[in-house]
């Protein structure tokens, strides 16, 4: 009687040494390229390892399967985008409302442009990630979890600078602005806009400023 061997899921290790970090980075970059070119479902672990120039065993040392790779790509994207959009701008509170309004406008401009630029890198990959979020429950929950982190950070930002804004409900405002920003930028970069994306971004900035900021 033929025995069926089941492949048990192991605990993938995290690289400590520089060489291991470089190997894992190569795997992630190769997967990003292949997911963008062929789609997640038409890509397998052997192809990812070959594209990365590493042994198949090296792939399985860090990931159990290609889905774990996809999840790490999603988490890395959110982390890098949040760092650039929410943490890199140094807010300067001024002594008068006019200067604070101008500072607020600069902040809104910076955040929207940073979010837009994050989506200009490999739009085909972003399209595939969005498709997987819609098709896979686990991937959807990972995306929701990462969204919650972004919204929590925005909520804290609005609470800290409440007296300089029109915001009454910091959490609701964070959800609203996060969703609107993501939707418009996906429309421009992923779906394709019928008009110049710069026009949409300019109107988005104006709309957010009117909603968010106490005018001069």
Looking at domain 68-212, its CATH class is: mainly alpha
- The per-residue pLDDT for range 22-68, each reduced to its tens digit, is 999 999 999 999 999 999 999 999 999 999 999 999 999 999 999 99
Instruction: Give the predicted TM-score (pTM) of the model.
Output: 0.82
State how far Cα 97 lies from the chain centre: 33
Sign (positive or negative) of CA dihedral 129, 130, 135, 136: positive
- Name the β-bridge partners of 165: 213
- Name the β-bridge partners of 30: none
Token pair for residue 23?
Answer: 């190997």
Sign (positive or negative) of CA dihedral 62, 66, 68, 70: positive
Domain with CATH 1.10.10.60 in the chain: 18-64
- The per-residue pLDDT for range 100-157, each reduced to its tens digit, is 888 888 889 988 998 898 888 888 999 999 999 999 999 999 999 999 999 999 999 8
pLDDT of 2 above 70: no
CATH of 18-64, one of 3.90.550.10, 1.10.10.60, 3.40.50.300, 1.10.3720.10: 1.10.10.60
């Amino acid at each position: 009687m033929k025995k069926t061997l089941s492949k048990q899921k192991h605990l993938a290790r995290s690289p400590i040494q520089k060489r291991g970090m470089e190997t894992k980075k190569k795997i992630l970059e190769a997967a990003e390229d292949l997911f963008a070119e062929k789609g997640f479902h038409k890509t397998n672990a052997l192809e990812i390892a070959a594209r990365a120039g590493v042994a198949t065993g090296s792939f399985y040392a860090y990931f159990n399967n290609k889905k774990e790779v996809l999840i790490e790509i999603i988490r890395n994207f959110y982390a890098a985008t949040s760092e650039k959009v929410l943490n890199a701008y140094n807010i300067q509170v001024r002594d008068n409302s006019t200067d604070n309004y101008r500072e607020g406008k600069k902040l809104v401009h910076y955040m929207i442009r940073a979010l837009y630029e994050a989506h200009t890198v490999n739009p085909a990959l972003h399209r595939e990630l969005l498709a997987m979020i819609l098709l896979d429950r686990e991937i959807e929950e990972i995306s929701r979890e990462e969204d919650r982190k972004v919204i929590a950070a925005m909520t804290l930002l609005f609470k800290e600078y409440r007296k300089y804004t029109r915001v009454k409900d910091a959490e609701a405002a964070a959800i609203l602005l996060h969703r609107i920003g993501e939707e418009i930028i996906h429309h421009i970069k992923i779906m394709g806009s019928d008009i110049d994306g710069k026009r949409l971004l300019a109107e988005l900035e104006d709309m957010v400023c009117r909603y968010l900021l106490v005018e001069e």
